[in-house]
Every structure is written in structure tokens, then in C-alpha cells.
Amino acid sequence: MKRRELLHSRLSNGSVMVNEGHGFAAKFALALYRRRAIYSFIPKNACSTMRFTLAVDNGFLRATDSIQWIHANNGAFIAPQPDLATADFTFTILRCPFDRLASAYLDKIVGMHRDAWDFREEGHASGTAMDASFTDFIRTITSHKSKRQNIHWRPQSDFMLYADYDRYYAFADIPAMTRDLKAVLDLDILDARSMTGHGRGSLTKLDGDYADMPALDIALLKRDGQCPSTQSLYTDETIRLVSKCYKDDIRLYRKRTGQPCLFID
């Protein structure tokens, strides 16, 4: 049996029950029961597909059931400590930090989800979330502790429970992950993108300069089947802010996936 080293537990001599880093990451470590596997899910990194797959594989759903079930059951498959320590296989999915933040903005802020109010409350001195451009979003979340106010733009490194995983899959190459999980765990991945409407796959990507376009105007573009590309949202300023504030994520992504990172490689 492979020894699993937990990343955060040894960083404090206090009780592990109040160890904030360990406790947070443990809430996102989900068990695939029959596979004796642990999956650390990170929001905006194909997590709806994986949570739906996990719920079906664990016997709680059928593949034809509504995906809405997963949103009220994030905690249903949180693994107990013995399972964390004795898992046969551990894995997670990492995403280029620049692309993940663009996805969070286009989904949660432009989509006016409740998460938008973790970024900007109604009556904010700079306007509501509907007024916020991508530049406004990046300036806000990279200031002080704002980057940890919401799990959809919280650093990916915070979700890492183990010092080392058996696999770090890249969001940029989901087909390779699908093939590998089938080979290693005999796990069939159920692609949920068409069920959630969160992705940009069905939209026409627009190049150009959309960095300062208000969220409401981008929402109108999306309604018409169009969406700014990730590259079109960034400026030299926001690339610099993300590079500094999310430097640990950039390092984690490049080291563990071997994939190039936008604007860096």
C-alpha cells in the first residue's frame, strides 16, 4: 500500500481539526468508492463533468438523470481520513490560471450568478457586477484577500490535499484524461458540458480587445452565440497582476502537467 503524504497537516502543530489549509482541501477530496480512488475537484476545471461522473459511478444517479443534483450534493462524497490515507489512486485536474480566471468571469460574473456578489455587491462605489469589465474583475480579485473570497477564482494550489498525486491531468487535454482514467480505473467519463451551459464550446470566439467591455454587454454577445476569447480579455496590466498573484498556480500547472501556460510560455 502506497504511503500518502498529506500536504497541509504537517505545517501546523495545532489540532488537524482546526487546520484551515487541510480542512479546506479535504472538503474537496471526493471518493470513488468502487475504485478506491480520491479525486480533488477544483471549480472551473471540468468539475461538473467529474462530479456527475462520480455520482453515477458511486450509484447515486443514473447517466440519464438531471445534473442539477450535483449542485446540492458537493459534500455527499467527501472522503473520511482513513480513505484519504489509504487510497489506491489519487488525481486532480489543473487548468492554466489565465484561462481559468477568464472562464470564471465569463460564467459567474457575466452570467450574473450569485457568485458575482462575492466580487462586487449591489451599490458598490464602482458600480454593480453588471458594470464590471474583466479588467475590473482582475484588479479586484488580485487585491488583498479577494482572490480567496470565492472558490471559482480561489488559487488551485489551495485545493491540493496531497503532497503528490498519482495523476495531474490538464484541462487543456480532457480526451487524454478520459483515455487514461478508462485504462487505469475502468472509469467512464460522462461529459456534462452540454448539460450545464457553463462552457464556451458552442460559442463563436471573438478576438480583439474586450478587456474593458462591461459584463452586461458581454452577456448580450453570449446571448447571440458569441464570446470573447481568453486572449482578448487580457492586457499587459492584467497579465502582470495574475502572474504575480497566482504565481504558485502558474508554477503548479507548468510543473505538474508539462503544458504551456498562456502569456508565459
State how far the Cα of 246 lies from the Cα of 237, in Å rounded to an integer.
14
Q: Which residues pair with 90 in a beta bridge?
A: 38
Predicted local confidence at residue 114, as pLDDT = 78
The residues near 175 (Cβ < 8 Å, ≥ 6 apart) are: none
Give the mean pLDDT of 119-132.
69
**Percentage of the chain exceeding pLDDT 70:** 94
Query: 195-202: long-range contacts (C-beta < 8 A, 24 or more apart)?
Result: 195/48, 195/52, 195/67, 196/48, 196/67, 198/48, 198/107, 200/103, 200/106, 200/227
User: Given a cut of 90, is residue 83 above it in pLDDT?
Assistant: yes
Q: How crowded is residue 5: how many other Cβ atoms within 10 Å of its Cβ?
A: 11
User: Given a cut of 70, is residue 198 above it in pLDDT?
Assistant: no
Predicted local confidence at residue 168, as pLDDT = 98
**131-178 pLDDT, tens digit each:** 899 999 999 999 877 889 899 999 999 999 999 999 999 999 999 999
Q: Which band of pLDDT confidence, cut at 50, 70 and 90, is reported for residue 121? A: low
**45-79 pLDDT, tens digit each:** 999 999 999 999 999 999 999 999 999 998 999 99
Predicted local confidence at residue 197, as pLDDT = 59
Helix (H) or strand (E) segment spanning residue 136 = helix 134-141
* Whether the Cβ atoms of residue 218 and residue 227 lie closer than 8 Å to each other: yes
Query: pTM of the prediction?
Result: 0.93
Helix (H) or strand (E) segment spanning residue 98 = helix 97-104
